[in-house]
Amino acid sequence: MISSRIFNYLKIAVGVVVLISFWLFSRFTVDDAFIAWRYGKNLIDSGIWNYNPTAIDMTQAYTSPIYAILSIVPNYFGLDIVMFFKGFALLNLFCFIYYYIVKVKNSSLFLLLFFAVPASFVHLFGGMETFLFVSITVVFLISVYEDRHVIVITSVLFLFLIRPESWTLTVLLPTYYLLGSIKLNELNLTNKYCSGNKIKAIVASFDWQIFGFVFAILFSFLAAYFIFHYSHFGYLLPNTFYVKSNSPLGLSTIKKLIWYAFLIAPLILLVVYKNYRYFFLMASFFLSMAVVYASSSLQMDYVGRFAFHLFSPTYFFLIYFITKHVSGDVKIELKDKFSYVCNISLRLALYSLIIIYLGLFAWRTSDPASLANISDYYPRALDSHASLGKTINIVAAENNINAFVFSDAGMVAYHSNINALDNIGLGSSFVAHHGVTDDLLNSYKPEIVIFRAHTGGIHFDSNYQKTIYNWSKRQGLFEIGDVYWRPGYILRIYSKVNHLAFTETIERSYTRNNISVQSYSSHLFTPPWYYWKE
């Protein structure tokens, strides 16, 4: 009775932490989410499936096709795009919790502990596909283990549309089924066979039909995806691949790989229980993700976003596995001046290790300074990026301006409703492959240019801003002023025209955003759903 009471008190305490985490971090919406959402907007407003509302510089800037497709719905019905995806996040949350409680009885504490970690609500409500990828991956892993083949195939096809890391399953999943088709005990592999004949006998015993069937389904779906994107955009892979897959091999890469490898190391439990085939599938899938993440230039790895892809499915699957398949006790015996014998539940011991594993992830991804910035990220963005995008929309409409330049592909571009040249390259295939040139600038003909700057001036050493500055001066663009996102983070505007809307946005951003995190903290008392809108 006492232990049960303590357990209930523990759940209540963790539940309070979950509510605090929800209050602080569900207000977060990341700028990059607007990249995918812009496709639905452009399709409805301009009838074109492109990052820009015209056919200029055709680019697949989104990583997650499913979020780009979903964005058609709110744009078609005139719904607030942020509120729509907050609602989708809640739906994703409730469906996942229901699914997991059905699959794993008495899992409420583990769910509460998971959502007490700040990263969970940050990635659930951030507007990106991160948590959807995790939840469908968990469904996939459990369904594979339970031999629910239809759900397995369906979940993989969904994963293909959520994150490109899942594409390795085109080979890994058929191989998993192929390895399961062999029955060595039915083979006559006596010593009289040479090793070559043994290998031939094993290979011949495989059920290659199941391999071919599963591979054909997955490959056909993925091939259709590639064909559409190649014919429409001119490149097979998402533009983000060409921008981010250039991280040099060095100490930082090795450190990241070690961290990612640590996150999937608990899967060794499958080997202990002789689930070798399943270990092969999970380890190969997650290890390939770890290598890609470690060797890529990840520009939006906020609150351990990519580590979250590896940790969360591992955490939830291992709890499922321990609950279903681990039993028995561990006997601890100490003999010295006295004898001490204690039997500890093996399941309880492994649960404890999993909680320690969760704690290490939480510790690594919960830097107070980063979380403080996350908590006020979107409120600040509303008074800077969103406001600037809406201002550009007004100025462009009144002055027949068709394009602007800014090294940020999200919120400003979404609200502008005109062509946006992203000089980082996420929103421009040309920049991703060739950089920013005078010819590119001449083709866009931007009449508003926004530079990343600080109080000391423009960052000329990054993202071709020196080239853009020189071109802008030749075109007669002049400095309008600075929009503040936070102290030291400035968006400096050059334009061919001045406008009262620019002045209002500049003044408002300075008043509201040029203050410290501590001074800005009063917004935390505002309910998070107040910020569930554009």
pLDDT tens sequence across 154-213: 999 999 999 999 999 999 999 999 988 665 444 454 554 555 555 565 566 567 888 999
Confidence of residue 380 (pLDDT cuts 50, 70, 90): very high
What pLDDT band is residue 411 in, cutting at 50, 70 and 90? Answer: very high
Q: Cα-flanking dihedrals φ and ψ of residue 515, to 5°?
A: -135, 160
Q: Which residue has the higher pLDDT, 339 or 272?
A: 272
| Confidence band, pLDDT 50/70/90 cuts, at residue 252 | confident
Torsion angle of C-alpha atoms 442, 241, 218, 166, degrees rounded to 10: -140
Largest Cα–Cα distance in the chain?
A: 91
Q: Is residue 518 scored above 90 in pLDDT?
A: no
Contact 447, 453 (CB under 8 A): no
Does 336 score more than 60 pLDDT?
Answer: no
Mean pLDDT of 151-155: 97
**pLDDT over 60 (residue 282):** yes
Nearest to 263 by CA among 241, 246, 282: 282
pLDDT more than 90, % of the chain: 78
On the question of pLDDT at 248 being above 70, the answer is no
Determine whether 72 is exposed, middle or buried from the number of CB atoms within 10 Å of its CB (0-12, 13-18, 19+): middle
Among 83-92, 160-169, 202-211, 385-394, where is mean pLDDT lowest? 202-211
Question: To which residue do tokens 């979404």 refer?
Answer: 414
Task: Please provide the average confidence, as pLDDT, over all residues in the chain.
Answer: 91
Residues 479-504 pLDDT 10s: 999 999 999 899 999 999 999 999 99
- Specify the pLDDT at position 428: 96
Give the pLDDT mean for 126-153. Answer: 97
Is residue 310 a contact partner of residue 288, using CB atoms and an 8 Å limit? no
What pLDDT, on the 0 to 100 scale, is given for residue 187?
Answer: 47
DSSP state, 386?
I
Q: How many Cα atoms sit within 13 Å of 181 on the Cβ side?
A: 17
pLDDT, position 443: 97
Pick the closest to residue 68 from 450, 431, 427, 433 (CA basis). 427
pLDDT given for residue 5 in this prediction: 80
Question: What is residue 184's predicted lDDT score, i.e. its pLDDT?
Answer: 45
* CA-based R_g, the chain, Å: 26
Please, what is the Cα angle at 231 between 230 and 232, to 5 degrees? 95
Query: CA–CA distance from 44 to each of 82, 83, 129, 239 (Å)?
Result: 17, 18, 22, 22
**Amino acid 392: pLDDT:** 98
pLDDT for residue 134: 98
pLDDT of the residue at 197: 59
Residue 384 confidence class, pLDDT cut points 50, 70, 90: very high
Position 25 pLDDT exceeds 70: yes
Given a cut of 90, is residue 326 above it in pLDDT? no
Residues in contact with 445: Cβ distance below 8 Å, sequence separation at least 6, in sequence order: 402, 403
* Predicted confidence (pLDDT) per residue in 422-456, tens digit: 999 999 999 999 999 999 999 999 999 999 998 88
Question: How high is the pLDDT of residue 70?
Answer: 97
Q: What is the pTM for the complete model shown?
A: 0.92
**Is the per-residue pLDDT at 258 higher than 60?**
yes
> In the prediction, which pLDDT does 342 show?
60
- Least trusted range by pLDDT, from 184-188, 231-235, 237-241, 281-285: 184-188
Cβ(127)–Cβ(82) below 8 Å = yes
pLDDT surpassing 80 at residue 322: yes
DSSP code per residue over 431-491: HHHH---HHHHHHH--SEEEEEEETTEE-TTSTTHHHHHHHHHHTT-EEEEEEEEETTEEE
